[in-house]
Structure 1
Amino acid sequence: MYFPPLATQTPDLSQYDTVFLGYPIWSMTIANPIARFLEDNSEELSGTSIAAFSTNAGYGDGSSVDRITELSPDSTILENYTVQDEEAMDSQDDVEAWLEQLGLMGEE
């Protein structure tokens, strides 16, 4: 499937061990601009870990993790975090627990 090019330039992602990827769920998968971002940056993301997080309309993350894995075959895909959009503002404790589970919670 063809997705139009993104106008935004990204920094060199290969300099990072972990890249956080936030996106909304569209039709039970990643949004089209995220698919294009992953296609465009697959080589730079090679060898990195991707910590994906998303908002959804109540149906969960659908096939989004499978799609990210497909588009980033040389990356390690960490456990996804998803939250229903109406609960996003009250999810700080859940986000912190997710980050701790991944071993990515910084020291205070």
Structure 2
Amino acid sequence: MTSSAKAPVLTVFMLVKTTPEWLGFSVDERSTLLAEHVEPILKRHADEVSMRFYDIEFYSARVTDIWVWNATSHHAYEMVVEALRETPFWDRYFDIVEILPGVENAYAKNYDRDALTAA
């Protein structure tokens, strides 16, 4: 998200697993494919959706990565998913294992309380 964008109303944790086809590409080929297929989607929706990428294959056999999406609306997130589904990254290069949507500190907002933090 850009600094002038609205605060996210939705965070989605997308648990994915690389496929043998993806792992068969060289690192350079993977970078090229990301730039060709995913980067344009991220740029097109940058005002409303941001994405962070976490490698977890070191600690999990069920999933290899977590894609964390922050969106200013459910519709904005849905549009990113629609675009991704038109690429080989959705269920070809990566298996989408689970999608976990959440709203940060909803309990605190719903009950007019301060959010619990460790800081």
Give TM-score scaled by structure 1 length: 0.30
* Higher helix content, 1 or 2: 1
Higher relative contact order (CA 8 A, sep 6+): 2
- Determine which structure has more spread, i.e. the larger CA radius of gyration: 2
Give TM-score scaled by structure 2 length: 0.28
